[in-house]
Amino acid sequence: MDDDQKLVADALAGDLSAFERLVERHRDVVFRVAARIVGREEAEDVSQDAFLRAFNRLSAFRGDAPFRVWLLAITRNAALNHQARRRAEPVESVEPLMDTVGAEGRMPADQLEGRERRDRLEGKVRLLSPSHRVVLVLRDIEGLSYEEIADVTETPLGSVKGRLHRAREELIEILRHNTYDWELPA
Amino acid sequence: MSDDRGGDAATPAERRLLGYLDDLSADRPSPGTGLVPAVVRSARWQRAVRPYALTFGRLVGAIGTGIRVLAGRRRSQ
């Protein structure tokens, strides 16, 4: 039994501090995945929703896969439900860049350019279809293995690989039609 | 976690894209300090009201069953 499984068992026995430990251990990855899917502004709400869903379903955790994978599956569902409820098209925001300029006006030009590129790319990732976005975030940004992604998305392994390939193609097409020059080879 | 993200890139464009995504990956946003206390507070509250919610649900179910039984008796008379 690993640390997470022990904490789950303690939480199920009524020890709320054990659940608190679980939240502390996984808050960063849950927040990051939520932020990449719905945007940073709403990631905290989605993270809270995901942890509470997990709390209410803790007895359903069987330990077949690591707790983190089980929790990320819940996070993915919470994020996609949140987005579906909102029903608004994601809009690329320039606010983070403007904040950065305001806060760190003396940032060197190359750092500023790198920051601008990251902000733009983050906005473009959110333009992907939900199923493509999730796979690309989990693999190419969070670095999960194909097996872990198959567990998180409840999708066969072969489908994960195919979906990732299509997600990258979709993102390349989006970037090629952007006014910003991404210098992507043909 | 896998650290061989670039190994499965098929085209030069994909390789360039993975380079950009690596930059994004290095930028790791983190939640505010209020997240953990907010989650624990809600969890504590939900755990406190859960027995009452279950009792209320059972009560509503029993009333519904009673009404159905009474309505069935009237229909059969």
Is A178 a domain residue? Answer: no
Q: How many domains does chain B have?
A: 1
pLDDT digits (tens), chain A, 186 positions: 689 999 999 999 999 999 999 999 999 999 999 999 999 999 999 999 999 999 999 999 998 899 999 999 999 999 999 988 886 555 554 444 444 445 555 678 878 888 888 889 999 999 999 999 999 999 999 999 999 999 999 999 999 999 999 999 999 999 998 777 777 877
- Residue B6's pLDDT is what? 54
CATH assignment of the domain containing A74: 1.10.1740.10
Residue type, A42: E
- C-alpha A61/C-alpha B75 separation (Å) is 47
ipTM of the complex as predicted: 0.78
Is B64 a domain residue? Answer: yes
Is B12 a domain residue? Answer: no
Is B65 a domain residue? Answer: yes
Is B58 a domain residue? Answer: yes
- C-alpha A15/C-alpha B44 separation (Å) is 10
Q: Check: CB of residue B36 under 8 Å from CB of residue A20.
A: yes
Mean predicted confidence (pLDDT) in B58-71: 93
- C-alpha A28/C-alpha A9 separation (Å) is 22
- C-alpha A177/C-alpha A171 separation (Å) is 10
- C-alpha A133/C-alpha A125 separation (Å) is 6
Is B4 a domain residue? Answer: no
End-to-end CA distance of chain A: 50
Q: Check: CB of residue B43 under 8 Å from CB of residue A16.
A: yes
Nearest-CB residue to B21 (from A23, A55, A140): A140
Q: Check: CB of residue A128 under 8 Å from CB of residue A171.
A: yes
Interface contact B17-A172, CB threshold 8 A: yes
Structural domain harbouring B73: 44-77
CA A70 centroid distance within chain? 14
Tokens at A85, concatenated: 């409820």
Q: Check: CB of residue B6 under 8 Å from CB of residue B18.
A: yes
Structural domain harbouring A28: 1-90
Interface contact A182-B31, CB threshold 8 A: no
Is A71 a domain residue? Answer: yes
- Nearest C-alpha in A relative to B40: A20
Is B70 a domain residue? Answer: yes
Q: How many domains does chain A have?
A: 1
